[in-house]
Structure 1
Amino acid sequence: MFVTVGYSDNPDSVVAGRHAAQIALSKANREERCDLVLLFCTARHNQRLLRNAVAEVVGNKSCIYGGGAVGVITNEYFGYAGDQVGIALFWFEDSKCTILTEEGLQESERKTGVRLGERLAQIGTTQVSPVVLFYDAIDRSKGDLRLLMATWLLDGLENGLGFLPDLIGAGMQGDHLGSETQQYFGNRMSVHSAIALTFSDDIQMNSVIMHGCHPASPYYTVTKADGPVILEINGKPALQFMDELLGSAISQEYYPFFLLLGINQGERWSEYDENNYASRLCLGIDKERNGIVMFEPDMVEGTEFRLMYRSLDLDYMKPKINALFEQIDGQEALFAMYIDCAGRCAGYGGVDMEDAILIQEAVDNRIPLLGIYTGVEIASIGGRPRGLDWTGVFCIFTKKKAGKGNSVKHENKHVWNRKNIGIRQNREIPLDAVVKLCEQNAAKILSLDAQSISIRHELEQKRRGFGLLSELSVYLQQGAGDDDIFLHVTQRINSALNMQRTVVLFPNDKSLFVPHILQGYPEELKEKITELQIKIDASFLEPESPVLVTAADDDTKLSDFREILKLEYFISTPIVVKNEVVAILITGRMTEAVPFLSRLSLSDVETVQAISTLLASAWVYRRWNDADKLAQTDGLTGLLNRGALELQTIKALKNCLSSGKICTFIIIDLDHFKQVNDTYGHLEGDAALKALAQALRQTFRATDIVARIGGDEFAVFCTFCDNVEQITRRVSRLIENWNHTPLVTTTGAEFYSSLSIGISVAPHNGTTYTELFQSADNALYCSKQRGRNQFTVSGSDEAMSKFSPT
């Protein structure tokens, strides 16, 4: 089996799909089509356009599987909450892979699992068969978000198959908010589906899990539960129990995605062993029932758990991965997959470094790597595949080498000894005071953990903001146009600052503002808003006081404006140049969802203000460029004027002479131009000059310098010519074409004109602008003396080379 990977973060779905696929193909250097494409993208992308673009590149429309991901990791790149696309191309060679799909998760995870399990049994799946399971983690079929449960899906799979195979997997979602995404289903797309990739037995999966969590409390017991909702703990309503336990250290709004519970199946008070703990993350709170909603429904009545805190030190990751590589002696390492909890990314996870960076460093380009940020991770723990939270699952796919046995011993094959559960009851620490002290310490630890996450999130947003400013400064220096830089800025704001929608408003001549750029909007909504003319409140025009609207504000604050832009919470700052508002930058979010879409803060305001200042500088720079261009341009024809011709020719002449090539200076005169003005009028004369300017553009190269030097005279400096004949052929064609070009007046009358041209050659006729100009002018005079409608090349003798049409 042979695998390559590709990555893109281009916001254009078509470009991103092509780019990622082309990168992966370029690494393969194979002519035959790949057998399988794994494709993942964030919810920002148009998935259908992306899929079609990938299919166009790989040449196989029926082998694309995958779906949504919060972010992507490869050997060289990683990113999340933006426009990331990740792709892996597989050539199976003498190995095999059977792909099975089942729909209907929204109706029943268990029944879908049973059907999938039965089909796995039909193809001969065994307990050692390597299986990768991808499933849709989000159900929005009834409007509200419901998390589809890996526990129930795996229960059904075990029921249908009779056992659970060697399995890893991921619950797919496209962003931290759980926006609905589709799954790639071979030659089509689907939702609420499960995909099982079953590899032949010559392929082996060798995996290790990364929790990075440690116990912070004594044990507590779930005394009542309903599916994923814990209703009672130690006989008290669950929410009340946690409030009393944690006190004022952590408010309820921070429970989701922060409160982490650990289920230990090892010795109760033995030294902490990560392999004995399954982490369970809080998804939300049920105030009506005083309950805590978990990501998985397996914390049933009687389940004992401990509060867990996240380690800020990720140094444990590299040794675990290196140890896994060392264990696969006798196996050929083919490909690595990293299934990473979306909450573990820096800025949300409260860590000092992205775990993606550590994964990249540990893999060290030894094999292709594709990682995805997911909603749920599945790996074997306690001898059984389980849905996990706040976990990274790193897996190396290997193939047995000829004559070698399998020496790999899986860390995740450790089987929990459930008999110890009854024994450990006698080992509880009986001292209530010690337990109370432990609880107090737990509250303090978790409080510090929450503060760390909050600070880390703010620092991460600042880092992204500074990175964006640096990127935009470079982009500005590269000379992008106004529309280009505004478009680029709004695309990058959404991605870099984790905003959902960004708008640029321009003023019109009616003291109203019109939407010029809308990012993050569906096409149909974009079309409606683009047509609007918006009256702006005076508060939007104050550069020193940006507008900030959050959920803390009254619903009536700027309610009309919020409704017009369909943007609930936002920051607005004007782009001001010389005390004039030239545009308004507005960026924000449609909802607040701690911690992934936290409340907009003054820190965010400062970042957006800095961006608007940069845009104002870009505006000034562009206007200066426009003025500079105008100063060098002939107002009638749009060609360079005489001053610009001289400056550019002097510079180009120096470069050309140093290269050893020849260059030519050409002066062109429109014959009998005074008669045209006298006969048809000056407006028709202007039209003739414009027509000739266009003819010159079409005749000469883009690298040549074309100018109008006054009245009816034009000049061209041609660089890097191999010989004079190259130019004379072009000039001959110009004269011929112009002779047959009708000039039509506004009254419909037609007339024709001719050209007289003089040519000088460097270095033969001179090496300075003045020398070449004088020689070409003399040659032009010679053409006129000989009857016009011809060109003359300046020579050393009195009889200059000449051409006149037959």
Structure 2
Amino acid sequence: MSPSGGAPLPRNRSQLSDIASLSERMGYFQALRAAFAVIVLGAAIFAAKVLGVSDISSIALVTAGYLLVSGVAEGLRRLTNERGLSIVTLMLLVDGVYLAWMMYETNGIQSPLRFLTYVHLIAVTLLASHRTGLKIALWHSLLFFVVYYAQAAGLLEIRGELARGTQFERLSVFNVMAFWLVALGTTAFSSVNERELRRRKADLEALAEMARSMEEVSDPNESAQILLDQVSEWFEFKRGVVLGGRDFTMMAFRGPGEATPTEPGLDQVVKDAFEKHGTALVKKPDPDENPRLTALMPFARNLLVVPLFAEGAPVGVLILEHPSISARVERRLVVMIEQFAAHAALTIRNAWLLEQVQRMAETDALTGVANRRVFELTLQKELARSQRNGEPLTLLLVDVDHFKSFNDTHGHQEGDNALKGVAAALQEASREFDIVARYGGEEFAVILPSCSSRESLVVAERLRTSISDVDAAAPVTASGGVATFPTHATDMSSLIEAADEALYKSKRAGRDRVTRSRRRPAARRPRPRPKKPVLAETQPVSEARSVS
């Protein structure tokens, strides 16, 4: 959007920066042209004899015309954005013509004002580009030779006492050589600066690309892999690894072969980088002090160890092997990698925080298993899948026996420990794809996908028996009830009811046992069709309408 009545705003900061930069440079050129005019008029007025100026009015008239053309061109450039570059180029050519004519009017090749062409060349090279600077140097040289041959042919008068005779050719060659020496030197230095600016711009674009890629993922390991891949590809590193997490285990790896699993912990080079709070350069890591790094990157040389900090706290470390044989690493390279690492550290930290929030929303705070909400969502999802695939689904409800008495006797702290032990035992005895959840209080639920009614009792008995091995202040037993879809129920609510009924049968039968449901799903009764009203044969039509 743009403010009402105003021009449309740039869509990003880079566009705004480019527009401001162009206007600023054009402002410098206008100031330079005004300075040329002031210097020329001042020299013509106060040093007319030295410059050999006989008619100041002609110089003043040409200068006024030059300033007028310059002002009109700048106004047109601002009005016509599409042709702005053509107007700028035309004015640079006009600058050359004006300076060439002023040099001729003020003693020709001996003119003290010839330094203005050097200033113009340097300004164009720095404000435009080194290529534009070379083109302007060619333009000034062309104008110089046009004036030279016009004087040699007698079309223009040769100005200056020393320029007459054989000195004319020598001075001309000397001026051209000096001018091109300055042109080539300025262009060389400017091209170095331009290459550096382009390289930094490309680095920032690569950093922005990495940031966009990280926005599309939420897993911290994926963010770490994106960091490693982007840095390795952009800066041409062959091997690298990202370590992070509480135990600083491997989060990402890049290189030939597969990464070797290592024990958690910190090597000495990583500790040094964290203490330094900056990048550490390691020519050859000591295998005894860095066993994990040696296992991950055998025979590594010239390592960059970049710590990952987020708001002052360490979240990981990026380790890269420099491809160069020499141990020299450019400072620019280190600075850019640190910028990549700083952004990635915040992203990884945020991904961990998001995981923690999601885990807190999905797990029971005391036992660490799924909470009631996740249980209901998972059961609904598994039932839908079982209906599509025609597979059975068993639900086990488990209730800890005499838990209130346990709490009253041993205290709530021991009761909490017992519940934690029950949850851990159920998870340990379950399959990887089974879902253990805390249903409420001392009651737990286990969702058993692809478990038939025949298998349910055996599986449930195994889970119940595992609870007896819980290490608690007193022996812990539990009662259970199982129900299977579609044998005992056809929807979620009836399946939970069937398992709950079986659970209470276990309690009434003496506890410490599992009972299988005997419920049969209720048959669907067809809805009775509504009877249509029947009109009596002898009833009048008008009366029938009033009745209906």
Larger Rg: 2
TM normalised by structure 1 equals: 0.31
> Which structure shows the bigger proportion of residues in helix conformation?
2
> Which structure shows the bigger proportion of residues in strand conformation?
1
Q: Which one has more relative contact order, counting CA pairs under 8 Å at least 6 apart?
A: 1
TM normalised by structure 2 equals: 0.44
